[in-house]
Amino acid sequence: MTLSAPFVLRAAELRDVAAIVQMIRDLAEFEQLGHLVQVTPEKLRPQLFGEKPAAEALVAELVDGDSGGAVVAFALFFTNFSTFLAQPGLYLEDLYVKPGHRGQRIGKALLTRLAALAVERGCGRFEWSVLDWNQSAIRFYENVGATVMPDWRICRVSGDRLAELGALGALASGGR
């Protein structure tokens, strides 16, 4: 296999779920967050292809050589909303290119395709997060025209704390 094997971008299909799950695990290990991963094909499948999908994904697939048909990258995204703009936005949750296929413009192709999709859908923003220590990713994103927002921090409630906060909300609304 050559490192310059051509690829195509396409919407993820059911047959891609196992490959996407593996790349999510690989990404989590790279980010030193493997201990947090709970994804399985069974858990991801309905979120991408169920009755009410919560997210969408694009994949990059090799088209020739010994590895033709291999999925080597993915971008998982969903619609959010900006009250300031009164428009939907596209939020990129994860973008991952397998190490042996980096430097082939696959990541840039995924980002530009998602930007085009955001424009097609009338989105006012295309956003994502990046870890502050991942300088190569920050440089990559800045090189494609993204602004790393220095004044914003992600807030998160999950697990037991989410259950506790939700219970307080249920009490406040009369248990409904």
Residues marked as catalytic: 141
At residue 52, φ and ψ (nearest 5 deg) are -130, 80
Rounded distance between C-alpha atoms, residue 123 and residue 120, angstroms: 8
- DSSP code, position 16: G
Q: Are 112 and 150 in contact (CB under 8 A)?
A: no
With 0-12 CB in 10 A as exposed, 13-18 as middle and 19+ as buried, what is 57? buried
Reading the block at residue 74, the tokens are: 């993915």
With 0-12 CB in 10 A as exposed, 13-18 as middle and 19+ as buried, what is 62? buried
Q: Are 22 and 121 in contact (CB under 8 A)?
A: no
- Which has the closest alpha carbon to 152: 122, 124, 132? 132
